[in-house]
Amino acid sequence: MYKIPSYIDNLLFDYLSGELSKENERKLQSLLDNSGELREYKDKLEQIWNGEKRSENDFGSAQAFLLFKKRVYAKKHSTHKIGKTFVLKSILRVAAAIIVVLSIGYTAYQHGLNTSNQTSPVVVTCSPGENAQVTLPDGSKVWINSESTLTYYKDFNKNSRHIYLSGEAFFEVESDKKRPFFVNAGDITVKATGTKFNVKAYSDEPFVETCLVEGVVGMNYHNEEYKLLSGDVVSVNRHTNLWSRDKMLNNDLFIGWKEGKLIFKNEKLSSLTRKFERFYDVTIETEPAVDSIRFSGVLQYESIDELLNILNETQGIVAKKRGKKIYLSLTK
């Protein structure tokens, strides 16, 4: 099966729904020109999207996911009406996109989802190696990174706009000064009225971070208030409660993951391994000798094996790989 980063899933969906930008259209066309397998898969998805294949044998888990996304798109992305928990998985990266709506089986996809229970929260979860994009009831858009969960309730957009995040997400918030937009991410709460910003708050990492692409937001950490202006990055150390403010000189360094990129600059391998684990859905252990080695680079199309070859060729790091478990050392 053709394996590529999950952002191509989003390119294909945007293409099928007629929302692909000119720039992304060129990117997708370049990928299609260089891959016969990808062209075949894209043609198959087009047939499913257009309803040309109706046999039960044509409905695999990936197709079920695509049909679900088509139904959601037809309802103007009103995912809040589902009132259930679902998990979005990448079509192309894992080869089998599966949506779990509580205990409802695949029959629900053929006959429509039960939306009678409107009291349940809507939960979108991305597993390692995956990401997703959703549109909220108010029109705001959210990109969700690997190992992250986004939650909101049925009364979102009535009197206020509250969302709950575990992990990392990028928000493109529709302007509404009467109803501020709140991102509650454990230690921090970010308040906005109409902005673009990224929140990173993984529970297993020492730092929580907010970076602002445009507009103004307020960030609250343990009752400490921080005001961010366009281009600001505020980071707080959970262990020391010390915070720092910097400027984004390169947006992609902080939000490149939206486009399926993993970008790092002069970063220690000890901190990079966690990012590699999320990006590639693997588990990495290291010997102490390699933890302090620093790297700069951009990963987008490279497979995990290609990454390991790069580490070996540039720094002499040896990888022992068994399935999804990897051990890195300086000795064979």
Instruction: Show the domains of the chain with their CATH numbers.
Output: 121-254 (2.60.120.1440), 261-329 (3.55.50.30)
Percent of the chain at pLDDT > 90 equals 27
Give the pLDDT of residue 282: 92
* Secondary structure E strands in 173-311: 181-185, 188-192, 196-201, 207-214, 216-221, 224-229, 232-237, 243-247, 262-268, 283-286, 294-299
Decide if pLDDT at 68 tops 80: no
CA atoms within 13 A on the CB side of 238: 14
Q: How confident is the model at residue 163 (pLDDT cuts 50, 70, 90)?
A: very high
pLDDT in tens, 80-135: 322 223 333 333 333 222 333 222 223 223 333 333 344 468 889 888 888 889 99
pLDDT in tens, 1-11: 444 445 566 67
pLDDT in tens, 275-319: 899 888 899 999 998 888 888 888 877 788 888 988 888 888 999
Which pairing describes strands 207-214 and 216-221: parallel, antiparallel, or unpaired?
unpaired
Decide if pLDDT at 181 tops 90: yes
Nearest CA among 146, 158, 148, 220 for reference residue 183: 220
Decide if pLDDT at 198 tops 50: yes
> Which of 21-30, 263-272, 292-301 is the least confident region?
21-30
Give the pLDDT of residue 129: 84
Percent of the chain at pLDDT > 70 equals 74
